[in-house]
Amino acid sequence: MKIKSFLAIAACGLLFAACQTNDGQSVATDHSNAEKADSMLYYFAQMNGAQYDRDAQRDTTLASDEAKKAYIMGVQTGLNAAKEDNDAYNRGLNLGMQMAMTFQQFKKDYGVELNKKVFVKALSEALSNDSIINSSDMQREFYRIMSEFNAQKEERDIKAANENLLKASETLKMKKIADNLYGGVITPTEGEQIKDGDNVDASINVENIEGKAINAPLPSKLKIGSRSLPEPINTALKTMKSGETGKFATSAMSIFGPRAAQMGLQPSDVVILTIKATVTPPEEKK
């Protein structure tokens, strides 16, 4: 059987665990329902297998046979870890798995290794306290510290993005427009200068530094100066005249913000924009 088939079958179990009644008996009690349940799980598994393939297209480390086998083993371990008739244990297991992944991501994003013992000790204290914990105070302090980590990360990301952009601009021979934007017009015209308040029809092609297309949901009808328009695009357009085509380099962080990760990009990755823009005349008042 192929790896992909194993992947689909293993993923089925994730939904199976949710199809149990409180007494551990399967919802599908008769033969007909059992067949329906098997079919449902099969399709759910295929959906998860397809999602894994999509993820592997963005992260090639997931594409190898070894990675797929490891994924299946992880799924199977999770399926076997849950205990019947022990809701408290399963709730703890679920939180533990979530936190394990959070710890890994936190180290990757912020460069700080979180202490598992601190978390477990604090959780134990919270459960053994005689007095009621003020959850609002806990949340306020949590988000206060988290905001400090986010500020540090943003500062590092901006620095890394600007450094990458500078290197890319030297390679591509692009002129600096702003710290987070390089480039200029590649097909000039004698059209009117694009300015704040203009309505513009724009064709925007987005690529990474290697020239691979990035599927970015950018609008084609733009209003210059609008707060909904990414700042690098707004700035780039104002260097152009109506009918011109420009080529620009910016960072994934500057143009996509937190959505960069959803596109398989790091905040500091260089993004190349090829923009053709035409000013549209204002609508006549009736």
Same-domain pairing of 61 and 162: no
- pLDDT attached to residue 261: 83
Q: Specify the range with the lowest mean pLDDT, choosing from 20-34, 148-162, 223-237, 255-269.
A: 20-34
Single residue among 113, 128, 143 that ends a domain in this structure: 128
Q: What is the mean pLDDT of residues 68-86?
A: 90
Q: Which domain holds residue 185?
A: 157-280
Residue 63 lies in a domain: yes
Q: What is the mean pLDDT of residues 9-19?
A: 45
Confidence of residue 225 (pLDDT cuts 50, 70, 90): very high
Helices (H), 62-134: 65-81, 87-110, 116-128
Same-domain pairing of 183 and 240: yes
Residue 146 lies in a domain: no
Same-domain pairing of 121 and 11: yes
Q: What is the mean pLDDT of residues 91-95?
A: 94
Q: Give the chain's domain count.
A: 2
Same-domain pairing of 91 and 10: yes
Let me know: does 29 contact 35? Beta carbons within 8 Å. no
Between CA 152 and CA 162, with CA 158 as vertex, the angle to 5 degrees is: 150
Residue 162 lies in a domain: yes
Let me know: does 197 contact 257? Beta carbons within 8 Å. no
- pLDDT attached to residue 12: 47
pLDDT of 40 strictly over 80: yes
DSSP designation for 131: S
CA 23 to chain centre: 38
Q: Taking all residues of the chain, what is their mean pLDDT, rounded to a whole number?
A: 86
- pLDDT attached to residue 2: 42
Q: How far apart are CA 154 and CA 146, in angstroms?
A: 12
pLDDT of 161 strictly over 80: yes
- pLDDT attached to residue 18: 46
pLDDT of 196 strictly over 90: yes
Give the DSSP H/E element, type plus range, for residue 248: strand 245-251
Q: Specify the range with the lowest mean pLDDT, choosing from 18-22, 196-200, 212-216, 276-280.
A: 18-22
DSSP designation for 257: G
Residue 184's nearest CA partner among 227, 110, 139, 239 is: 239
Same-domain pairing of 118 and 188: no
- pLDDT attached to residue 79: 83
Query: Which residue has tokens 């960072």?
Result: 251
Residue 134 lies in a domain: no
Residue 139 lies in a domain: no
Same-domain pairing of 257 and 209: yes
What confidence tens digit (pLDDT) does each residue in 203-218 have?
Answer: 999 999 999 998 888 8
